[in-house]
Structure 1
Amino acid sequence: MPMELPANADIHPYLPQSYFADSHSIELSYRGESALEIYFEMVSRTPKWVNFLMDLRNRIVSKLGLKHLGRMADLDQNKPVEDYKVGDQVGIFSIVSLRHNEVVVEDCDKHLNVRLSFLLVPNGNQVTLHATTVVHVKNTFGKVYMFFVAPVHKVIVPKSLNSLIAR
């Protein structure tokens, strides 16, 4: 899939030599929220079947020596969104880049590096949200893992984004 992202997107440096790259866009009503606020809203609406798959993933891979990630929506409910900064943990990811219109989060281990960008392109009362995932694999186990995860990812991201339409 061609990546149609604005040139100033912070995720661009991660695209070269990626093993997997995927981007989905959606139009939403816009009230000036930050990319991080919309990301939090999406993960708080994570469908139950996605949580089930995350729980299943965690049980399986923990037996293979990979880390237990938790769930997407494992957020600090007492921390105001404006207090988050680069390096902070947000659910299963850590923030690596944070601007009002884009947040880039990542999870890296010995098998792969996963980065996710939420980029907002405002247009009046509407905003285009680009959700981009980039994965760099480090070894054969990372490739095997992505063999199973990539097809599911292509279903989960659009479904999760669509949960924002009803906001």
Structure 2
Amino acid sequence: MNIEATEVPTFSALNESLKTAYFYDCYSVELPPDSRSPLELYLSVFSRTPRWIDALMNMRNKIGVRLGLKDMGQLSSIDSQKPSQAYQIGDQAGIFKVLELHECEVILGETDKHLDVKISVAKQDKPGCTLVSVSTVVHVHNYMGRLYMLFVTPAHRIIAPATLSKLAQCLH
């Protein structure tokens, strides 16, 4: 399984926000044909977040709270008892809220006084495979948001592909 840095899919609801984003990226992976919805893919990936990433999130939360950031919890804090069909717009799905549900994409996000983060999980069925793309878009509101991103950006470039790599391990 090869994870590649790619462009945000052209059909993504996040495209309009890229022009004003402080930071954005996208990572994609080709899987065997996969019938799961984008929300199911998100839930599968984030519920299997590597432990070392959750440890980094714990450290981020301890430091961040002192700097006025929200305690986000852990990426892996997905409610395993809640079926994907039960999620509605506005529901919490791990550390992010469900903002939009589409047939080929789910948009999740979180906002605080320093920055807005949106995540897209998009899928494209192609002959013989399913392409899954995970995009992140960040808009900062102030100096603290920019300072935060100074540290988060390099870590994100390691964390995002490592998290996406779990997708192959959770095929059906």
TM-score bin, normalised by smaller chain: over 0.9
Q: Deviations over 1:106-152 (max 9, x none)?
A: 11000000001000011144111111100000000000000000000
Match of 1:22 in 2: 25
Is structure 2 residue 170 aligned with structure 1 residue 146? no
Q: Which amino acid aligns with 1:158?
A: P
Q: Gaps (5+ residues) in structure 2? A: none
Identity %: 39
Q: Does 1:163 align with 2:166?
A: yes
CA RMSD of aligned residues (A): 1.5
TM-score, normalised relative to structure 2: 0.91
Q: How many residues align?
A: 166
Q: Are 1:9 and 2:12 matched, yes or no? A: yes
Bigger shift: 2-11 or 134-143? 2-11
The whole-number CA distance in structure 2 between the counterparts of 1:90 and 1:83 is 11
Taking structure 1 as the reference length, what is the TM-score of the superposition? 0.93
- 1:43 aligned to which of 39, 42, 46: 46
- In structure 1, what residue type is equivalent to 2:158? V
Per-residue deviation at 1:44? 1.4
Gaps of 5+ in 1: none
Match of 1:132 among 132, 135, 139: 135
Among 119, 124, 142, which residue is 2:122 paired with? 119
The alignment status of 1:84 with 2:113, answered yes or no, reads no
Are 1:42 and 1:160, in contact at CA under 8 Å, matched by a contact in 2?
Answer: yes
